Amino acid sequence: MALAKKSRLKYSVSALLLIPFSQQVYAQQCSINLNYGVIIDPKHIRIVDKGKTKVQINNTKQLFIRGREISLSSEQQQLLSSFSGGIRRQVPEIVSIAIEGVDIGLKAVNQVVASLTGENSASQQKVQAKFDELKWRIRARFNQSANNYYIAPQDLNDFDEMFTGEFEQEIETIISTSIGTILEAVGQSILAEDNSHEYGGETRITTFDKRLTTLSKGLELEVAQRAKALDKKAAIFCQELTHLDALEAELHLAIPALNDYNLIETSN
């Protein structure tokens, strides 16, 4: 197999696999910050700073600030209940949107591998297993069990940035492995040409290049459509979080002791 042919095919496959991660997945920007970490379990919501619980809400109605229970009127309890309910709805949504964004890219790469090596082929199953393991660990990072969540303090301007720092290298490794898997799977039939059959090998390379081009166009369209749908979901989430920020401001007016712990901050 000529080195130039192998390099050309490797470049084409690499460019195809990078499509899902080179496109801008999110046009929507939230311009919202979480100033503290949030831990949610079925009975409690905890607002934490550097590992220490500053605010704790028990069963939506009982409030503790720095370990001391705050006596609440029925009106204050109602506001606290509305706020804690919003937190319980929106924090899991942050996790869902971020994971779905990563999943768009991973599914697209898996689709490429399946298209080039065969559905349920050994190569495709090998790559799929790596995707499943990564997604399980991403969920475990934020969702410890069925109804337990943890979100660290962060800027929500870019949902996909939630994962790039921690998982970007692993995603790149999966893509690199996928390239090798594809080249190995198709190598015997397309690339493993004896020098005496150079013309035939070149013809098959050209045919495969055309196949990659067709697949690339379809993949770009599919990723764009799925990203657009996710962007709408993110836009709705941002609106809900903005409303929750307004409710938090109302809660702080009703319970001044909470003023030092502004969880949600909307940037202008």
Confidence at residue 196, expressed as pLDDT on a 0 to 100 scale: 44
Question: How far from 52 is each of 56, 66, 176, CA to CA, in Å?
Answer: 11, 9, 40
Q: What pLDDT tens digit does each residue of the chain (268 aa) get? A: 455 555 655 666 666 666 666 554 444 556 788 999 999 999 999 999 998 999 999 998 899 999 999 999 999 999 999 999 999 999 888 878 877 877 887 777 777 777 777 777 777 787 788 878 877 877 777 766 667 888 888 877 666 566 555 677 777 777 777 777 777 666 655 555 444 454 455 666 666 667 777 777 777 777 778 878 888 888 888 889 999 999 999 999 999 999 999 999 987 5
Q: Please report the sign of the dihedral spanned by the C-alpha atoms of residue 142, residue 144, residue 146, residue 148.
A: negative
Confidence at residue 216, expressed as pLDDT on a 0 to 100 scale: 74
φ/ψ of residue 90, rounded to 5: -85, -35
For residue 85, give the nearest of 48, 141, 40, 139 by alpha carbon.
Answer: 40
Strand bridging mode 52-58 / 62-65: antiparallel
Question: How far from 6 is each of 68, 186, 204, 216, CA to CA, in Å?
Answer: 68, 11, 12, 19
pTM for the structure as a whole: 0.75
φ/ψ of residue 204, rounded to 5: -70, -35
Block residue for tokens 């901050």: 265
* 109 within 8 A of 22, measured Cβ to Cβ: no
Confidence at residue 226, expressed as pLDDT on a 0 to 100 scale: 80
Confidence at residue 47, expressed as pLDDT on a 0 to 100 scale: 97
Confidence at residue 119, expressed as pLDDT on a 0 to 100 scale: 76
